[in-house]
Amino acid sequence: MTLKTEPFVLNIGPAHPSTHGVCRLKARLDGEVITDLECVFGYLHRGIEKLAEERTYTGIIPLTDRLDYLAAMSNNLAYCLSVEKLAGITVPERAHYLRVIMAELQRIASHLIAVGAFLNDCGAFMTPILYMLREREKILDLFEMASGQRLTYNYMRIGGVSQDVPEEFLPALTKFVDEMPAHIDEYDRLLAENEILLARAKGVGILPAELAVNISAGGPVLRASGVRWDIRKADPYTIYDRFQFDIPTGTVGDCYDRYRVRVLEMRQSIRILKQALEQIPAGPSRSAVPQLVRPPAGEAYARIEAPKGELGFYLVSDTSIAPYRCHIRAPSLINLTALRDMIVGWKIADAIIIFGSIDICMGEVDR
């Protein structure tokens, strides 16, 4: 006589302490094992692409801040690169260096939150995330010094950056870059070899390399599966070809590899920052661009290596002051398409961890 069991549907609902925003996961469970998963999102849709058709090119920049709100500098940068490509505007040297400095600092800040939230989902009761938020505070102080805000910076402009950094910025940045590697070592000592974390995260939620390439994943998710692809090396934008840095890759593509890849990327970002600090020239930080930019008719697509993947802006212009169409290629949405293949067969506890290790931001997924 066999025991009859029934599968039931559990709604890991929109308002949940660890779905990183409002995302609904409809899971079909058999005991504790997930047999099917459907991801329902759209709770944060604000119509950014449509709103962008009614604002001037400069006025869209505050909108792009709110896409991936944890990495606003990267969004600004991608958009400005796209408009400059469309309109053929050149950017002064100092502005290039400032953009790279801001982008790499933003990468560190975003990875700190990603790793911290992942460890929090594993159950380490807020201790690692609070340590990492302390480092993120230091980065946000630097951003506040340069742009005036801590989350939605609106710092990049078409043709450069909004204003030059104040004189105490570069010494403070030097201090930060000098002491950050010690903090990353501390995080490694705290949890990198922890047996329970290894048991929870190694071998869990494997994304095979072929599947990752087929769904056009990007960022740490792709690199942890073993594919060496980084847009900063493959298709360099601004001045990334002047810096020397490595691309950390994983081997298996499980949650532990994604966590390690992010930590190693933080170290590489610090290396880039040190080189940028040595090489930064004096000069203007913004080239003269009219307030109402009218690019010639055409289309352009520019992409950057955002902390979460490949972020691209596709702009179509019809010579008016607002774009005809602005489409945003959001990395979190594309990375999310592999969720079902990664989660089916594991338990609820693993589902939460796998979801956290992909590191999505609902502002990007829903736009």
Partner 1 sequence: MKFERYGLGIAKGLAITFSYLFRRPITVQYPEQRLNTSRRIRGNELVWSREKCTGCATCAKACPIGAIDIVTAPNLVNNRYAVEKYQVDTGYCIQCGLCVEACPFAALFMGYDYERAKYRRNELVQNKEDMMLESGEKHTSGYFYPELAAKLPRQTLLIDRITEDRTTEGK
Partner 2 sequence: MTLLNPVFQLESSWKALPPDWPGGFFWHWLVFTVIILAFVLSVVMAFIWLERRGLGRIQARLGPNRVGPFGLLQPVADAVKVLLKEDIVPFDADKIVHWLAPVVAFTPVMMMFAVIPFQNGALLADLNIGILYFVAISSISTVGIFMAGWGSSNKYSLLSAMRDVASVVSYEIPVVLATAGVVLLAGSLSLNQIVLAQNIPFILLQPLGFLLFFIGACAEINRAPFDLLEADSELTAGFHTEYSGMKFALFYLVEYAEALAVSAIIATLFLGGWRGPFLPPWLWFLIKIFAVFFVIFWIRGTVPRVRIDQLMALAWKFLLPLALLNLLITAIEVLIWPGTLPWLLIFVNIAIMIVLVLLWSRFFKLGWGKVEV
User: Could you list the residues that contact partner 2 (CB under 8 A)?
Assistant: 8, 10, 16-18, 32-33, 35-36, 119-127, 130-131, 134, 190-191, 194-200, 202-204, 254, 344-350, 352
Helices (H) and strands (E) in the chain, counts: 15, 8
d(CA 317, CA 324): 5
- Reported residue count of the chain is 367
Q: According to the binding rule CB under 8 A, does residue 53 interact with partner 1?
A: no
CB of residue 206 to partner 1, shortest distance in Å: 20
Which of positions 187-206 make contact with partner 1 (CB under 8 A)? 189-198
d(CA 35, CA 169): 52
Q: Among 25, 87, 91, 146, which residue interacts with partner 1 (rule: CB under 8 A)?
A: 146
Stretch that binds partner 1, among 164-172, 232-240, 245-253, 255-263 (CB under 8 A): 164-172
CB of residue 344 to partner 2, shortest distance in Å: 5
d(CA 335, CA 359): 9
SS (H, E, C) 128-151: HHHHHHHHHHHHHHHHHHHHCCCC
d(CA 271, CA 249): 17
Of the pair 230, 254, the CB lying nearest partner 2 is at 254
Q: Among 134, 234, 279, 318, which residue interacts with partner 1 (rule: CB under 8 A)?
A: 134
DSSP β-bridge partners for residue 160: 157, 286
Q: Which residue has the tokens 């070899």?
A: 193
Q: According to the binding rule CB under 8 A, does residue 367 interact with partner 1?
A: no
Q: Which residues are at the interface with partner 1 (CB under 8 A)? A: 55-56, 58-63, 127, 134, 137-138, 141-142, 144-149, 152, 154, 162-163, 166, 168, 172, 175-176, 179, 186, 189-198, 291
